[in-house]
Amino acid sequence: MKACEALKTELQARDPPGITLKLTLLDDGVPEYVMKIVEEHQPPPLPIVLINGTVTPPVGRISLPLILEQLERLTR
């Protein structure tokens, strides 16, 4: 959870337009839209990073450089 909050803080500091970050804990149940994505991409690495509802290539961990790389690919 600390890594997610740190990522959120860093992304907000960079102020990319339209970016929101949501942490979904499996303990709270998995939303149906996430289950559909997981079924399509089984087995997914954890964490799963979704950008515009699409699974990014596996990042394997919460990593600002890896996530920024995926965001840049989508905004080019």
Q: Domain spans of the chain?
A: 2-75
Residue with token string 């290539």: 57
The half-sphere exposure of 24 on its side-chain side, counting CA atoms within 13 A, is: 14
Q: Is residue 16 left, alpha or beta, with left meaning phi > 0 and alpha meaning psi from -120 to 50?
A: beta
- C-alpha 40/C-alpha 52 separation (Å) is 16
Report in angstroms the alpha-carbon separations of 51 from 27, 65, 73.
22, 15, 11
Would you give per-residue pLDDT tens digits along the chain (76 residues)? Answer: 788 888 888 888 887 677 777 777 777 787 888 778 777 776 555 677 777 777 777 666 677 887 788 778 777 6
**pTM of the predicted model over 0.75:** no
Residue with token string 């080019």: 76
